[in-house]
Amino acid sequence: MAQQIRLEVVTPNGAAVSEDVDIVNAPGYGGDFGVLANHAPFLSTIKIGILSYERGQKRENLMISGGFCEVSNNTITFLVESAEFGKQIDVSRAMKAKERAEKRLAEAAQHSESINRTRAEAALQRALARLKAANVN
Amino acid sequence: MPSLKDVKTKIKGVKKTSQITKAMNMVASARLRSAQEKMENFRPYTSKFNEAMSNLSGGSNTSSFPLMEVRDIKNIELVVITSDRGLCGSFNSNIIKTALRKIAECDAKGIGVSLVCVGKKGFQLLKKTGKVRKQYTDIMSSFQMFNAREVATDASENFLAGKVDKVEIIYGEFLSVGIQKPAVKPFLPVQPVQGQGESTKKISGEYIYEPSTEEIMDVLQPLYLNVMIYHAMLEVGASEHAARMTAMDNATSACKEIVDHLTIVYNKARQASITAELMDIVGGAEALK
């Protein structure tokens, strides 16, 4: 039995995951990174993307939106605004959100409104991450 | 002496009112439970967040961040968080009174005040001051993190643009089901989070930061502001329902008192009319003799 690391995913609506896992892969600020057991203390911001972890043969994907993660005492804690399991994601809704965001992005490009654009971009990223998380399963 | 029919209608009316207040009480208590649950769920997030913030600010020079810059106060902004609906006792008016007092204080010192109202009640009562810069109404019943983010982003942009030098939140603090208190909390500039003694500082030195602490702080501070607003909104949500519960409880018992009183009036009036009728009959019989 390989050593395990404790994974905690905490959102404003409560803890999403609290489990001992083998490996965690997450979208960090400077690119994706993986964390194994007994990692050195570490703190990084998190982008919108997919958090995956493995436990034995089991592999789970979560869509997470921005926040940060902290590794200390063999525990990795994610503080994110939202976390959704790939299998719970409503694909058709995410598709619609993606289309909506793309449309809005096109509109924002014409009117050069920077606030709307950043918002639409974030929405698009979330939608894409959702779709990816749903499809990888 | 009121007529029998009048009293009877009145009793009926009051009883109906008490039915409504009783129902509202039960609805409020159910909502309170879910609001408290929401607060409970949010607690691990805030405590973790504070921990990380104190770890970070222990390791870096905090005064260099624009969101932490302490300036001379010329303009102040108050974010007043109230509920959207009334009928919850003096809850909203207490918050507004606190806000008005604060405004008067600042006026006396010659500091400019602008207001941001979250919740309809606050806006309705504060718009006559003419200082409301922005309002967010009809979001208190089912707000999410992104609502809080909107408020926080707007306030911090205003702060960064130099239009205001200080931002404070005024909201209803949820102390217990029986006690809710208006509270004032500093919002901007961001206060350095106090670490819990030596131990946290020791760990923070060993952390690997990705990217640098400064860049992490740049990301975390806005998030921290969101968390603060969201937390205040949660407290207001819970306080509102608790206050409504108490108010409706009082209303229900007041209704009961009125019904009791009216029933006595009704009985007395009935007795009086019976006596009068009897007198009539006796009088008539006497006359026939």
**Residues A80, A114: one domain?**
no
Q: How many residues does chain B have?
A: 289
pLDDT tens, position by position, B141-199: 777 788 888 889 889 888 888 888 999 999 999 988 888 899 998 888 887 665 544 44
- Cα A73 to its chain centre, rounded Å, is 22
Q: Are residues A76 and A96 in the same domain?
A: no
Query: In which domain, by residue range, is A67 found?
Result: 5-86
pLDDT in tens, B206-265: 678 777 777 888 888 888 888 889 999 999 999 999 999 999 999 999 999 999 999 999
β-strand partners of A10 = A15, A79
Q: If we measure between CA atoms, which residue out of B96, B141, B136 comes closest to residue B116?
A: B136
Contact A61, A85 (CB under 8 A): yes
Inter-chain CB proximity A12 and B45 less than 8 Å = yes
The stretch A13-42 carries a mean pLDDT of 88
Q: Average pLDDT, stretch B6-12? A: 93
DSSP A44: E
In this structure, the strands spanning A67-72 and B112-118 are unpaired
Question: Does residue B100 contact residue B80 with C-beta atoms inside 8 Å?
Answer: no
B62: left (phi over 0), alpha (psi -120 to 50) or beta: alpha
Taking any CB pair shorter than 8 Å as contact, residues of chain B touching chain A are: 38, 41-42, 44-45, 48-49, 52, 55-56, 145, 203, 206-211, 215-216, 219-220, 223, 227, 230
To the nearest whole angstrom, how far is the Cα of A88 from the nearest Cα of chain B?
19
Q: What is the DSSP string of A41-57?
A: PEEEEE-SEEEEEEETT
Q: Which of A12-26, A39-53, A111-125, B2-16 has the lowest mean pLDDT?
A: A111-125
Supply the range of the domain harboring residue B256: 4-22+247-282
Give the SS3 label for residue A40.
coil
| Same domain flag for A76 and A127 | no
Number of domains in chain B: 2
Pair (B148, B270) in one structural domain: no
Both B79 and B15 in one domain: the answer is no
Residue B228 structure tokens: 């603060």
Residue numbers in B near A30 (CB within 8 A) = 210-211
Q: Which of B88, B106, B117, B255 is catalytic?
A: B88
Of B193, B172, B195, the residue nearest B182 (C-alpha): B172
B106 assigned to active site: no
Query: Which SS3 state, helix, strand or coil, does residue B179 take?
Result: coil
| Bridge partner list, A70 | A43, A77
Question: Does the structure show a pLDDT above 60 at A52?
Answer: yes
pLDDT digits (tens, 9 = 90+) for A62-111: 888 888 888 888 899 999 888 888 888 888 888 888 888 888 888 877 77
In a domain, B258, yes or no: yes
ipTM summary value: 0.74
